[in-house]
C-alpha cells in the first residue's frame, strides 16, 4: 500500500506529482472569500501530514473544537471541508443539494479497483437517478417492504437458532444473517448454512473498498494521473494490488446476478430486486448493467451496515442491563411468552422502537459518512468553498472531545449513555431529535430505499427492530466472567466509512425453557 509517509516522497512517481502540483500553484486564481479555518499546512504541500489515516473522526472533532462548525484542509490542491454541526450539514448538503450531491473521484477505488459504477461512487446524474429509482421501487415504501417482511422475520428467527447453539460466534452469526436477508431480497438467493461464497465475497470486497478510499492511504487519490503509470515503475505497487481487488469486485457484481438471471430464465425465480426490475422486459445490455449495479449497491451496503448496527445492539445490551430489563418487560407484557415478536407488533412496542433509534445514534454506523463533492464554486457563511472540494459531515464524537451531531450534548442529554427513553415523550418532556434525520445521509446522496417524506430507511430499520425484539424476547445478554473477573467490553469503533464496534465478549443465555422452545420452532413461517 502506498501511504503518505516520508518514504513515499522518495519515489520518482511522487516527485513528478509534486512538480505538477507546484506548477498549478503558480497559476492559482485569487479567491473571492477566505477558506474556512483549519490547521496550518506546510509550504507547497499543504496539510499532507494532518490527514488522519486511523479514526479520522477523532481528528475532525478536534478541528471542530478549535475552528468551529466548518474546518478546511488542503493536500496537493485538493480541498477538504469538514462539517461539525447538523445545521451546517443541512444548509449545505440538503438545501444546496444541486451543487453538493456529487461524489469525489477515488481513482483507486473507482477506476482501478472497479467500483466507479456503484451507487456509492457514481457521479450525480441520469445513471445515478436510475439506480435510485430501481431501489426505491423495490424497498422504498411500506407496500414494497411488506413483500419482504417474511424474509426478515424468518432469517432473524434462524439467527436466534444459530446464536443459541454457538453464542461465542455472535459477530459471524450477525454477518451471516444480514447477508442472508440482503441476498434473498436482492437476488432471491438462499444462503448456505456455513461458509456461503456470496457472503464471503461481500465481506472481502467491502473491506477492500474501505481500504481503497481511506484518507491518505493511496497517493493516486490525490494525484489521479498516477493511475496511468505502469506497474513496474517504483512506487506503483498499488496498481498490482488494485488488479487483485478488481477481480473480487467483478465476482461480487456478476456471480449473484447471473444466479438470479438463470433462475428467472428457468421460471423458478422468487420475488427479488432483480426479478422486480426486469419483470416483463427483454433487457438490453445497458439495462442489464443498470440492474446489476443497482442490486450490488443494495447487496454491498446492506451486508455490512446492518452488521455494525446489530453488533452495536448486543454491545449496548451488555453494557446497559437496565435498558435490557425494561425492553424485556415491555415484550413480556405485550407479546407474552408463547410466541416470538413480529414486525406486526411494532406499533405496540414503543420502547423497542426507541431502543432501535438509540442503536442508530449511540454507535454511529457511518461516523463521517461518504464524502460529497462540490460541482460549483460556492461561498457559504462568508467562506469560499471551491469547486471540487470534498465535503465530510462528521457525525461522531469520542469523550472528552467536544461532541458533534448525533452526540451533541445540546441536542442529546448525556450522549455517551445508551438511553432509549430520550426518544419517548415522558412527563411532558418532548422526545429528543430523531437520529435518522442525520444518520442516513444528506441531500440527494441519502441512503437508497429511504422513505423521503419521513427520512426512514425502512428495510434497515425493520432489520434492527426485529433483531432487538426477537433477541430480547428469548435471550439474556450480560458481561462475561472469566476467572472470577467480570469483563467490561470497550466501546471503540473501527473504520471511518462503516464503523464496527471493537470485537467483544458477552454472555448470551436463553431466558427460560419456554424461550428455548420458541427458538427451536420451525422458522419457515
Closest CA to 274 of 184, 190, 194: 184
Q: Tell me the CA distances in angstroms from 451 to 39, 75, 140, 352, 458, one per residue in order.
A: 39, 37, 6, 21, 7
Per-residue pLDDT tens for 263-291?
Answer: 999 888 888 889 988 887 788 999 999 99
Higher local confidence (pLDDT), 439 or 126: 126
* Mean pLDDT to the nearest integer, 193-210: 89
CA distance 359 to 169: 21
Strands 450-451 and 456-457, sheet pairing:
antiparallel
pLDDT band at 158 (very low <50, low <70, confident <90, very high): very high
CB neighbour list of residue 256: distance below 8 Å, 6 or more residues apart:
183, 186, 187, 189, 198, 295, 296, 299
Identify the bridge partners of residue 426 per DSSP, sorted by sequence position. Answer: 429
- Please answer whether residues 476 and 509 qualify as being in contact, where contact means their C-beta atoms are separated by less than 8 angstroms: yes
Describe the crossing of helices 321-334 and 285-319 by its angle, rounded to 10 degrees. Answer: 110
Rounded percentage of the chain residues whose pLDDT exceeds 90 = 44
Phi, psi (degrees; rounded to nearest 5) at 520: -80, -5
Q: What is the pLDDT of residue 105?
A: 85
* Mean pLDDT to the nearest integer, 101-128: 90
- Please answer whether residues 13 and 224 qualify as being in contact, where contact means their C-beta atoms are separated by less than 8 angstroms: no
CA distance 292 to 158: 28
CA distance 478 to 184: 32
Strands 383-385 and 390-393, sheet pairing:
unpaired
pLDDT over threshold 70, residue 2: no
* Cα 486 → chain centroid: 32
Q: What is the pLDDT of residue 169?
A: 95
CA distance 418 to 489: 14
What average pLDDT does the structure give for the chain? Answer: 84
CA distance 280 to 271: 13
Torsion from C-alpha of 249, 253, 256, 260, nearest 10 degrees = -170
- The maximal CA–CA distance of the chain, rounded, in angstroms, is 76
Domain regions of the chain by residue span: 8-520
Q: CATH says 8-520 is which class? A: mainly alpha
Helix (H, G, I), strand (E, B) or coil at 368: coil
Sheet holding 70-75, edge to edge: 70-75, 78-83, 390-393, 372-373
Least confident of 152-166, 204-218, 504-518: 204-218
pLDDT over threshold 50, residue 53: yes
In the numeric block, the cell 422504498 is attached to 140
Closest CA to 134 of 303, 279, 300: 279
Q: Exposed e or buried b for every residue in 56-78, given b needs 16+ CB within 10 A?
A: bbbbbbebbeebebbbbbbbbbb
Closest CA to 145 of 466, 395, 369, 411: 466
Whole-structure pTM value: 0.82
Closest CA to 186 of 313, 117, 273: 273
CA distance 429 to 414: 16
Higher local confidence (pLDDT), 44 or 347: 347
- Please answer whether residues 235 and 14 qualify as being in contact, where contact means their C-beta atoms are separated by less than 8 angstroms: yes
- Please answer whether residues 395 and 366 qualify as being in contact, where contact means their C-beta atoms are separated by less than 8 angstroms: yes
Per-residue pLDDT tens for 485-515?
Answer: 999 988 766 555 556 778 899 999 999 999 9
Count of alpha carbons within 13 angstroms of residue 301, beta-carbon side? 24
Q: Tell me the CA distances in angstroms from 481 to 477, 484, 501, one per residue in order.
A: 12, 6, 20
Grid coordinates representing 233 are 515503475
Omega cis (within 30) before 400: yes
Q: What is the pLDDT of residue 181?
A: 93
Amino acid at each position: 500500500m502506498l501511504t503518505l509517509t516520508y518514504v513515499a516522497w522518495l519515489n520518482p512517481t511522487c516527485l513528478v506529482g509534486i512538480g505538477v502540483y507546484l506548477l498549478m500553484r503558480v497559476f492559482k486564481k485569487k479567491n473571492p472569500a477566505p477558506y474556512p479555518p483549519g490547521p496550518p499546512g506546510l509550504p507547497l504541500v499543504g496539510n499532507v501530514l494532518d490527514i488522519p489515516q486511523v479514526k479520522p473522526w477523532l481528528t475532525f472533532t478536534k478541528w471542530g473544537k478549535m475552528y468551529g462548525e466548518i474546518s478546511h484542509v488542503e493536500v496537493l490542491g485538493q480541498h477538504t471541508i469538514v462539517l461539525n454541526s447538523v445545521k451546517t450539514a443541512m444548509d449545505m448538503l440538503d438545501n444546496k443539494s444541486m451543487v453538493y450531491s456529487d461524489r469525489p473521484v477515488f481513482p483507486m477505488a473507482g477506476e482501478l479497483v472497479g467500483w466507479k459504477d456503484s451507487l456509492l461512487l457514481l457521479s450525480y446524474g441520469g445513471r445515478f437517478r436510475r439506480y435510485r429509482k430501481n431501489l426505491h421501487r423495490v424497498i422504498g415504501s411500506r407496500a414494497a417492504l411488506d413483500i419482504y417482511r417474511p424474509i426478515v422475520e424468518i432469517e432473524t428467527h434462524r439467527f436466534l437458532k444459530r446464536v443459541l447453539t454457538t453464542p461465542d460466534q455472535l459477530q459471524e452469526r450477525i454477518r451471516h444473517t444480514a447477508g442472508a436477508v440482503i441476498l434473498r431480497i436482492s437476488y432471491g438467493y438462499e444462503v448456505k448454512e456455513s461458509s456461503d461464497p456470496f457472503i464471503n465475497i461481500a465481506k472481502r470486497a467491502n473491506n477492500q473498498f474501505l481500504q481503497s478510499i481511506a484518507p491518505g492511504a493511496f497517493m493516486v487519490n490525490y494525484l489521479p494521473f498516477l493511475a496511468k503509470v505502469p506497474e513496474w515503475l517504483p512506487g506503483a505497487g498499488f496498481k498490482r494490488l488494485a488488479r487483485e481487488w478488481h477481480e473480487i469486485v467483478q465476482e461480487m457484481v456478476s456471480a449473484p446476478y447471473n444466479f438470479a438471471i438463470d433462475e428467472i430464465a428457468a421460471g423458478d425465480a422468487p420475488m427479488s430486486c432483480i426479478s422486480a426490475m426486469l419483470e416483463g422486459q427483454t433487457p438490453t445490455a445497458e439495462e442489464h448493467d443498470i440492474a446489476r449495479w443497482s442490486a450490488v449497491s443494495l447487496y454491498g451496503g446492506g451486508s455490512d451496515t446492518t452488521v455494525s448496527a446489530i453488533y452495536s445492539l448486543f454491545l449496548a445490551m451488555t453494557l446497559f442491563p437496565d435498558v435490557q430489563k425494561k425492553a424485556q418487560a415491555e415484550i413480556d407484557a405485550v407479546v407474552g411468552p408463547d410466541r416470538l415478536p413480529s414486525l406486526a407488533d411494532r406499533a405496540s412496542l414503543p420502547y423497542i422502537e426507541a431502543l432501535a433509534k438509540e442503536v442508530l445514534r449511540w454507535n454511529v454506523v457511518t461516523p463521517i459518512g461518504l464524502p460529497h463533492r462540490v460541482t460549483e464554486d460556492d461561498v457559504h457563511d462568508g467562506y469560499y468553498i471551491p469547486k471540487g472540494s470534498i465535503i465530510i459531515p462528521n457525525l461522531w464524537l469520542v469523550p472528552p472531545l467536544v461532541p458533534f451531531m448525533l452526540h451533541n450534548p445540546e441536542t442529546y442529554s448525556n450522549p455517551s449513555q445508551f438511553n432509549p427513553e430520550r426518544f419517548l415523550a415522558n412527563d411532558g418532556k418532548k422526545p429528543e431529535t430523531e437520529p435518522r434525520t442525520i444518520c442516513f445521509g444528506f441531500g440527494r446522496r441519502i441512503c437508497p430505499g429511504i422513505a423521503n417524506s419521513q427520512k426512514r430507511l425502512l428495510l434497515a430499520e425493520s432489520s434492527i427492530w426485529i433483531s432487538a425484539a426477537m433477541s430480547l424476547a428469548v435471550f439474556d445478554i450480560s458481561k462475561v466472567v472469566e476467572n472470577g473477573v467480570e469483563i467490561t467490553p470497550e466501546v471503540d469503533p473501527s473504520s471511518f466509512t462503516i464503523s464496527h464496534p471493537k470485537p467483544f465478549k458477552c454472555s448470551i443465555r436463553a431466558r427460560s425453557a419456554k424461550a428455548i422452545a420458541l427458538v427451536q420452532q420451525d422458522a419457515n413461517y
